[in-house]
A = this chain, B = another copy of it.
């Protein structure tokens, strides 16, 4: 299956377009840590350096500049790509919508500041978009009408790549798929302050809420999970399922339905070539089960054609995508 091979020459992956073999620094800027590595030709070529994300925009910028200077001691870099949480205006490089994970980050002119301080071409991108860009090109799917990459983490992020290019929407908010509605019950409040978002069910925190709801109704003699309710984690549920606990299996089944429901909605809007699933919760996905649920809820033309696949780049995707985007922006791709 060509799309899962990773041994092709990245310079030839995108329909024959040659990508210049330049080193660029990719930085992944998340709520808890900053991770950075040098990327060339769609691959990491150094180790990843990590620092904790400090509090406040000024301190975050300081850490970003520090990481860049640190890599410049040993490497020449042609540009900096920053994958950040939040909505980014890619033209101005401003963070125009932040997430609760990065208080005070909204309004930061990240591209402008980094360019002024380092004199390096800089590209700032929403982290889910950067990851999606990396995954699609690593898989050689730059010629597909649409590929949707879904990050199942603490929340749900999405990135849309169409004909090899990121689709960012009219107001830079395309792919904010965590806030699709999968219910009208007003039962689960999302971190965004609204009800019934996909993220409130299908994310890692949604999984935990489902687990607690289910386990609160059972007795210790039905499942040992009842004893673990006060300090429950997703990993505890996952381990119980591995040991054959039927309640844990039921929780995971319900969560698969939650995830599948959002995929079905996206598929009927976009009819993509495939979904890539990534993020910390990807390890909980049984792709065969997910596919069955998806087919069961879809028009045949969608269910039979749209693939659901594991992404291949893991936590490096944001860095690789951001670095590739700054290089590609220099050659007008």
Question: Which residues of A are in contact with B by a Cβ distance under 8 Å?
Answer: 87, 96-97, 144-146, 158, 160, 162, 167-185, 192, 194-195, 257-258, 261, 264-266, 268-273, 296-302, 305-306
Contacts and interface: CB of A to CB of B under 8 A. Distances in A.
A98 to B, nearest CB: 11
Given A169-B146, A170-B144, A268 B301 contact: no
A180 B271 contact: no
A271 B174 contact: yes
A305 B182 contact: no
Given A176-B268, A184-B257, A269-B270, A301 B170 contact: no
A269 B301 contact: no
6 contacts: A87-B301, A170-B273, A175-B269, A176-B268, A179-B268, A180-B269
A181 to B, nearest CB: 5
B302 A261 contact: no
Contact of A171 (B175, B178, B194, B301): B301
A217 B266 CA distance: 35
A171 B306 contact: yes
Nearest to A302: B173
A220 to B, nearest CB: 29
A164 B272 CA distance: 20
A187 to B, nearest CB: 10
Contacts of A305: 170-171, 173
With a 10 A CB-CB cut-off, give which of A173, A179, A269 has the most chain B CB atoms.
Answer: A269
